[in-house]
Structure 1
Amino acid sequence: MNFALSFKPPSAGSSGPGAGGGATMENLEKQLICPVCLEMFSKPVVILPCQHNLCRKCANDIFQSANPLWQSRSSSSITASGGRFRCPSCRHEVVLDRHGVYGLQRNLLVENIIDIYRQQESSRLVNIKPEQQQQQLMCEEHEEEKINIYCLSCQTPTCSMCKVFGQHKDCDVAPLSSVYMRQKTELTDGIANLVASNDHIQAVISQMEEMCRTVEENGQRQREQLANHFDCLVAILEERKQELVGLISRQQDDKLKHVRSLIRRHSDQLEAAVTLVESAIQSMEEPHMPLFIQSAKLILENMAATARASNVKRPELGYENMSHFVIDTDDLADMLRNIDFCPGVGDDGEEDPEEEESDLDFGSRY
């Protein structure tokens, strides 16, 4: 179906009465368009905390879509909690109290401007020439017929003559205005639903971003706690190591002290015996018998005393052995290798509050 405009409206830059005023009014109208329904604001107009404006109905549609469980004021006497949604213009989050959108302040200034605009626009339309009025689409096949119906079968606008005598006579049709209003309503609802869906997606994204930050913080905290636990184990092992090393060192020192004291005593005895042998050899060379007898008697007495004291004492067999200091760490090593996280974590990934101070179980206490 072909159709064309019957005439062209005057452009903003054209000359003639009302041309400049029309451009001004057109610019003003652009500032009075609701970003949701794309129509001029309808009363009452509410002003959001971010200073953007919405029709109350559009704001309520967005709010209801973003908060489906929110109970309206008139549906029950139960006081409902507040809710939130995002401004469709700037994505700023709007937090409402229990009154919902009815708790938002009305923008009386914008409402007054709309009233003035409509009055001025009505006066301008009365004063403009008939050929400057609203353009009308005309049927190309029937040039005198306006496009005033919509063919539901072919899904195209057409005129009454096409329905009666033309190619759409066997088709189902509907008034163009009703189809226009229905599709405009559907598009408005689609915009509101899409805005609400975008708001929901943005909320989910924000929640997941917050979840990522929480995961990073929890991971860092758990790493620190794990490191602290292992540091404690290392400190315990180091302390016990020093105690056991001290035991070995003390017994080693005791044994060395005892053996060295025996060495000194036997060395003293050996030195005395060597001196006595030298004295006996010198006495053997004495030519005078009285002097020899006298010195030999004294040497023999000393030899007898030395013989009695020469009973060599030595440590018992295996005294030098330190093999009794044996430690079996196989079971402990296996236990350390099997250190793992305790199962005391809920299905939701959060720890039991009672175990908040003890996040890891290392299988044993030292």
Structure 2
Amino acid sequence: MNFALGFKPPAAGGSGPGDAASMEKLEKQLICPVCLEMFSKPVVILPCQHNLCRKCANDIFQAVNPLWQSRGSSSVPASGGRFRCPSCRHEVVLDRHGVYGLQRNLLVENIIDIYQQQESSRLVKVKSEQQQQQLMCEEHEEEKINIYCLSCETPTCSMCKVFGQHKDCDVAPLSSVYKRQKTELSDGIAILVASNDHIQAIISQMEEVCQTIEENGRRQKEQLVDRIDSLVAILEDRKRDLVGLIAKQQDEKLKYVRSLIHRHGDHLEAAVKLVESAIQSMEEPHMALFMQVLIVNSTESSTKAHKVERPEVGYESMSHFNINTDDVAEMLRNMDFCSGLGDDGEEDPEEGGGDSEPDYCSRY
């Protein structure tokens, strides 16, 4: 809490508007944010440096730590606890002394003493002015508003209760209603602060849940990618093996057919040469030489008789290497997550063990 170090208390004889404004500003700095009253034994909530009444701080601490044993309640030493500042929500870890282990703010206590002395002196002098400035009834201009109508929930005057519109209503002294409602407001603030701490604890738990979800999601993504990659590796290996089988038979068939082509080509070349020799022998004019050449050609042609060999019908077909992947493709398209499994891949005991329908994971 910040204080104006240059504050000078008003002179004993002065009670002007400027002095009253200064006192009001100072008073706002000396109000407890819980009970809305002047600090009583203010303590310092380290390290945020905000101030609270010791009683208010202890009430909040007891509400947040119901199992904490206060001083003198038992011979067993009390354990520490956590305390959240109602002004800035900063969390402070307290030792076994609880709130009583916090330092008292002596500077604030001294300022409060000076303030109360000056304020009491000022109030005595301005009491008459305050009485003159007190709210007056609109219907009875000479009557002060000093009672509270419980039925209409509005402040009013005594004349309104006796002769006016509130004569049939239930009323109470304005001061008692003021004190009661102020006490209720203070209690409500303490309850609200405790509720805020509870909500903050729930938020912290949900933040931890978010972190756990992120970690589990990341781990499951990695597992899924690894398993899909292993399937892809299996497909790649199988593809390489099957392609190798096709390539092997392709090479064998090509080698056989090309050997036939080479053999028939050699025979064709020999036959062409024989035809050329026969044509030349047709031009031989001497009968003896013609018959001699004819006998030689006939011998060569009979010696080189060739049987034409060719591949069987459909030998060139490779259709027997056809593979049906429809079932595998359908299985991959329908591949889904297994139900009843936890984050670690084990069966969830709460979901498993029944007669549930098999999922894709168990099906394939």
TM more than 0.5: yes
The change in CA–CA distance for 1:124 and 1:249 in structure 2 (over 3 A counts) is same
Residues in 2 aligned to 1:159 and 1:285: alpha-carbon distance in whole angstroms: 160
The change in CA–CA distance for 1:57 and 1:290 in structure 2 (over 3 A counts) is same
Amino acid at match of 1:314: R
Q: CA deviation at 1:143?
A: 8.8
Look up the SS of the partner of 1:83 in the other structure. strand
Contact 1:152 1:173 in 2 (8 A): yes
Unmatched 5+ residue regions in structure 2? Answer: 1-9, 348-358
The change in CA–CA distance for 1:17 and 1:103 in structure 2 (over 3 A counts) is closer
RMSD, matched Cα: 4.2
5 Å matches for 1:1-366? Answer: 17-19=14-16, 21-65=19-63, 67=64, 70-74=66-70, 77=76, 82-85=81-84, 87-96=85-94, 100-125=98-123, 128=125, 131-132=128-129, 137=134, 150=148, 152=150, 155=153, 174-201=172-199, 204=202, 219=217, 222-223=220-221, 225-307=223-305, 310-346=306-342, 351-352=343-344, 363=361
The change in CA–CA distance for 1:267 and 1:169 in structure 2 (over 3 A counts) is closer
Residues in 2 aligned to 1:90 and 1:250: alpha-carbon distance in whole angstroms: 80
Q: CA deviation at 1:64?
A: 4.7
Unmatched 5+ residue regions in structure 1? Answer: 1-12, 356-360
Q: CA deviation at 1:112?
A: 2.6
Residues in 2 aligned to 1:172 and 1:297: alpha-carbon distance in whole angstroms: 155
Contact 2:48 2:90 in 1 (8 A): yes
Amino acid at match of 1:352: D
Q: CA deviation at 1:333?
A: 1.6
Q: Cα deviations across residues 23-55 of structure 1 (Å, max 9, x unaligned)?
A: 433322121111222211111433243221112
Residues in 2 aligned to 1:285 and 1:154: alpha-carbon distance in whole angstroms: 150
Give me the TM-score of the superposition, normalised by structure 2.
0.73
Identity of aligned residues (%): 73
Residues in 1 aligned to 2:21 and 2:318: alpha-carbon distance in whole angstroms: 108
Look up the SS of the partner of 1:46 in the other structure. strand
Amino acid at match of 1:329: T
Q: CA deviation at 1:72?
A: 2.5
Give me the TM-score of the superposition, normalised by structure 1.
0.73
Contact 2:149 2:171 in 1 (8 A): yes
Contact 1:283 1:295 in 2 (8 A): yes
- State the partner residue of 1:3: none
Look up the SS of the partner of 2:320 in the other structure. coil
The change in CA–CA distance for 1:300 and 1:171 in structure 2 (over 3 A counts) is closer
Report the number of matched residues: 339
Look up the SS of the partner of 2:52 in the other structure. strand
Amino acid at match of 2:332: L
Look up the SS of the partner of 1:106 in the other structure. coil
The change in CA–CA distance for 1:329 and 1:154 in structure 2 (over 3 A counts) is closer
Between 149-158 and 230-239, report the one with greater CA deviation.
Answer: 149-158
- State the partner residue of 1:10: none
The change in CA–CA distance for 1:97 and 1:336 in structure 2 (over 3 A counts) is farther
Contact 2:45 2:102 in 1 (8 A): yes
